[in-house]
Amino acid sequence: MNYKMSILIRTDLKMGRGKMVAQGAHAAVGAVLESIKRNPEWLEQWETAGAAKIALRVDSIEELMQMVQKARSLGMTSFIVTDMGLTQVEPGTVTAAAIGPAPENLVDQVTGKLRLL
């Protein structure tokens, strides 16, 4: 079975690519640390198989939250990044999220129709 993590980045905010990289990294690290506590088996399988990640775009906070809620309802780890707003965005802005690591078919049930970032 293949495992992966989806990284969702909001494209409706005025974030440059450096900001996107930092926010995406924050999401991925958060999901990994959460997985250590909640789902270490999937984390280990994912790491062993190369730790596949894909960066996808969401166009609104609503779309991002829908994805996260669906992931949680399917038993997957997720992590939402809320930025402190020191640069580029307002304080408290949700900028990114990560879903997984989890079996690929499960992740695709949630994020399979999103476009590549």
Give contact residues for a copy of itself (rule: CB under 8 A): 5, 7, 9, 16-22, 24-30, 32-33, 47, 50-51, 53-57, 84, 98, 116-117
CA distances, 50 to each of 47, 101, 114 (Å): 5, 11, 22
Locate 104 and state its tokens. Answer: 């690929």
Q: Please say whether the beta carbons of 67 and 99 come within 8 A.
A: yes
Locate 75 and state its tokens. Answer: 């038993």
When the beta carbons of 30 and 76 are compared against a copy of itself, the nearer one is: 30
Q: In the complex, what is the shortest distance from the CB of residue 2 to a copy of itself, in angstroms, rounded to a whole number? A: 13
When the beta carbons of 36 and 75 are compared against a copy of itself, the nearer one is: 36
